[in-house]
Amino acid sequence: MRLGIPAKTHAFTLTEMMIAAAIASVILAITLTSSIALQKSFSQVDNYFATHMQQIRIVDYLARDVKRGLSVTSSADKQTVVVKIPRYIIQAGDADATAANIGTPRNPTRLYVAGSGDPNVNYGTTTSTVEYKVSGSSILRTEDGIVTTIASSTDNLIPETIDIELANTEYTTTAITFKPISVADRSGTIVYSTAYLRNRRRPTL
């Protein structure tokens, strides 16, 4: 028995081809739109957390220096902070520096005040000046002429420090905000930090 082969072959009609092409175009457009949206979302999340890490870095640096500080001075715009801290390490040029003790920790002196249960601790009269300042697109920390970049993108990252003096000590309150690339509102990004000047619990040098 021989199988017959039909002489006529079947194919898609023009209408079917147009419908298939339209469906494929819609699927491709949805795929491209979703991909672009996901990439934008990833970029915004990455920017948010990268800036947030810089925000925490500034808080950590400021809190460390303020806790060691003898005095804190904030500028009128609250974006420049100057901290005076004891020089804990003996450096060349200090009054008590010798060839043998340069680079070693300075031994503090303890003085008990009458009527006080706690001693006053002094590290001598030599101090270091630490300045935090917005410069161009960076926040710089300068200590005795040595500059360290603490954070960048200062167009998005704004620190404000307020110095408050109490009867027996002093503390600073710092608020740092940034503007995410996704929204213009900074209010939801504020991080607060309060640091007490531990060295202020003694007579001023």
pLDDT tens digits, residue range 141-173?
999 888 999 988 777 777 788 878 776 678 888
The per-residue pLDDT for 142 is: 93
Q: What percent of the chain has pLDDT over 90?
A: 12
The pTM of the full predicted model, rounded to 2 decimals, is 0.71
**Residue 7 binned pLDDT confidence (cut-offs 50, 70, 90):** low
CA distance linking residue 126 with residue 36, whole number of Å: 58
Distance CA(89)–CA(107), nearest Å, equals 9
pLDDT tens for 164-203 read 877 667 888 888 888 888 777 888 888 888 888 887 665 5
Residue 79, CB-side half-sphere exposure with 13 Å CA sphere:
11
Q: Is the Cα dihedral 30, 31, 33, 37 positive or negative? A: positive
Specify the higher pLDDT residue, 27 or 6. Answer: 27
pLDDT at 119 over 80: no
Q: In this structure, how many other beta carbons lie within 10 angstroms of the beta carbon of residue 162?
A: 13
